Amino acid sequence: MQKLNLPFAQLIISQIENKSYVFDLIRKKHILLTPEEWVRQNFLHFLMNYLHYPKALCAIERGLKYHTLRKRTDITIYDQSGKVFMVVECKASHIPLTQKTFEQAANYSYSLMAKYLVVTNGLRHLCCRLNHESKTYEFLENLPKYES
């Protein structure tokens, strides 16, 4: 898998029937190691190990209803009160981050009332603070660290 623009993550990778799997600490099971899963797992480790987000407040592939469509968020971070704090949309490293991709993720994040949105392909990370009243967002230079 490609080297990402993230700190080293000690992922548990295993071979099962000639396919690579990565152990997901949140779902507590082995997941097929696709290019997008590589980004998701590395970014999740970054959130937990470097920005100190508690594992208990992280969810993977949380379902949501957007208009009449059923969608999933790649990573959802909750605050201590159970409200959605951050939504992270992960793309494989060979997928460019476009305005369309970002706006689609922003729409999902607005529907969940998230405070922050991150879109990453593992090489580039876009983070913004969402304003729900005006349906606008402000890009940030750095991702917020977890504060209890």
- Neighbouring C-beta atoms of residue 115, cutoff 10 Å: 18
Please name the amino acid found at residue 59.
Answer: A
Give CA–CA dist 136/16, Å, rounded: 45
Domain ranges of the chain: 13-140
Tell me the fold of 13-140.
Answer: tt1808, chain A (3.90.1570)
Does residue 131 have a pLDDT over 70? yes
Asked whether the predicted pLDDT for residue 52 surpasses 90, the reply is: yes
Report the share of the chain in percent with pLDDT over 70: 93
**With 0-12 CB in 10 A as exposed, 13-18 as middle and 19+ as buried, what is 53?**
buried
- What is the pTM assigned to this prediction? 0.90
Q: How many CB atoms lie within 10 A of CB 98?
A: 11
Reduced to 3 states (helix: H, G, I; strand: E, B; else coil), residue 47 is: helix
Alpha-carbon distance of 70 to 57, in angstroms, equals: 22
Q: What is the DSSP letter of 39?
A: H
Position 104 scores a pLDDT of 81
pLDDT the model gives residue 65: 57
Distance CA 115, CA 83 (A): 9
pLDDT in tens, 88-111: 999 999 999 998 888 888 887 888
7-16 confidence digits (pLDDT tens) = 999 999 999 9
Cα–Cα distance measured from residue 83 to residue 94, given in angstroms and rounded to the nearest whole number: 32
